[in-house]
């Protein structure tokens, strides 16, 4: 006999409840948590998610390998950022020099062309427009008047429209080129040579801007590395002061497996979060902000290590047996 709709719904509810019970007996919920909350501690839990610092900064940063030396060596991480800043400063100086060179060339050209001061500017504009249109034509729909584009038209009206578009593109490109040619013909050789030099310097300026952009894009990642290395640096000092043994990677992995099945972003709503099942309050005692489960794995690893350097395995009453 086929089950009724009510029976199917009831069966689904029972299956879900059974899954929750089984999960509660597993390591994710049943294992020991970081500092089980007392009633007084629970009352201090924030009602919402506060602003996050390190997590927000790293949200768009590709995650490094867990053994990346820059995560653990503050001097190495700082050197990387310092090198990027020096490179950026050098590029900014080159940009300033290029701008000065362009201004100087324009001043020379204007001096040679005092009777027609606007011609130099028009020459620059015409050349730039012709160059820009040629590049746009090639990158966009290919060189002007590509007959193959017409063959893709499905109707006579579409073919007519495409033909008009290509003709318009060709006419605009030719007009820009003719304008530059006329202006270039009117200019004497010295003015034309200076215009060529200005164009070369402008391309050099554009390349410097691209390089500077690539360098500055790497800076947030380098700064984030420093923020993680500082946590490990603080933990190193605690280990030396308290004489504790630093757990091995295998021991940390065993702890994570026991606490959360090594799931860094786990958040079941039971006030324990992330791979190390931090409570919100404990996470904040080691400098964390926001939901621990939203923090990058490298940050969770670093703050768990700092916590252990201060308090040993006490925060993990059951799973802490895997640590020294």
> What pLDDT score was predicted for residue 191?
75
The better pLDDT of the pair 44, 217 is held by: 217
pLDDT in tens, 51-100: 344 444 445 565 777 788 989 999 999 999 999 999 999 999 999 999 99
Taking the C-alpha atoms of 57, 63, 66 and 68 in order, what is their torsion angle to the nearest 10 degrees? -80
Task: Please compute the mean of the pLDDT values over residues 275-304 and round it to a whole number.
Answer: 96
CB atoms within 10 A of CB 171: 11
Distance CA 297, CA 271 (A): 19
CA dihedral in degrees (226, 231, 237, 238; nearest 10)? 180
pTM here is: 0.60
Measured CA to CA in angstroms, residue 130 lies from 20, 136, 163, 179, 185 at distances of 68, 10, 21, 9, 16
Residue showing tokens 């202006």 = 183
Cα 117 to Cα 8, 109, 120, 121, 187, distances in angstroms: 87, 9, 6, 8, 11
Q: Among 182-191, 214-223, 282-291, 315-324, which is the least confidently predicted range? A: 182-191
| Residue 112 pLDDT exceeds 90 | no
pLDDT band at 165 (very low <50, low <70, confident <90, very high): low
Instruction: Output phi, psi for 264, to 5 deg.
Output: -70, -30
The predicted-structure confidence for 202-222, as pLDDT tens digits, reads as follows 999 999 999 999 999 999 999
Q: What does each C-alpha distance from 107 to 120, 135, 186 come to in angstroms?
A: 10, 29, 19
Task: Assign 3-state DSSP to the chain and report helix, strand, coil percentages, each to 5.
Answer: 70, 0, 30
Model pLDDT for residues 307-320, shown as the tens digit of each residue: 999 999 999 999 99
Residue 297 has pLDDT above 50, yes or no: yes
Which has more pLDDT, 308 or 24? 308
């Amino acid at each position: 006999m086929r089950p009724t709709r009510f029976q199917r719904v009831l069966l689904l509810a029972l299956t879900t409840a059974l899954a929750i019970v089984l999960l509660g007996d597993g390591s994710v919920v049943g294992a020991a948590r970081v500092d089980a909350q007392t009633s007084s501690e629970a009352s201090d839990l924030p009602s919402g998610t506060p602003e996050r610092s390190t997590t927000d900064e790293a949200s768009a940063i590709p995650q490094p390998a867990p053994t990346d030396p820059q995560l653990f060596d503050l001097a190495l991480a700082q050197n990387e950022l310092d090198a990027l800043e020096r490179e950026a400063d050098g590029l900014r100086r080159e940009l300033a020099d290029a701008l000065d060179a362009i201004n100087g060339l324009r001043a020379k050209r204007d001096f040679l062309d005092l009777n027609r001061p606007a011609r130099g500017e028009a020459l620059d504009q015409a050349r730039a427009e012709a160059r820009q249109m040629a590049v746009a034509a090639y990158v966009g729909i290919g060189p002007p008047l590509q007959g193959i584009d017409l063959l893709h038209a499905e109707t006579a009206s579409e073919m007519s429209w495409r033909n008009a578009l290509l003709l318009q593109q060709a006419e605009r490109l030719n007009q820009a080129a003719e304008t530059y040619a006329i202006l270039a013909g009117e200019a004497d050789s010295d003015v034309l040579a200076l215009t060529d030099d200005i164009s070369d310097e402008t391309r050099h300026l554009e390349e410097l801007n691209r390089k500077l952009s690539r360098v500055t894009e790497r800076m947030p990642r380098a700064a984030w590395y420093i923020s993680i290395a500082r946590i490990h640096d603080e933990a190193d000092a605690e280990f030396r002061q308290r004489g504790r043994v630093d757990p091995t990677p295998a021991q940390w992995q065993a702890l994570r497996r026991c606490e959360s099945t090594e799931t860094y972003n786990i958040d079941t709503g039971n006030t324990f979060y992330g791979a190390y099942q931090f409570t919100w309050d404990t996470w904040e005692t080691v400098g964390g902000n926001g939901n621990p489960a939203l923090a990058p794995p490298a940050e969770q690893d670093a703050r768990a290590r700092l916590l252990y350097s201060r308090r040993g395995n006490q925060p993990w009453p059951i799973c802490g047996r895997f640590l020294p």
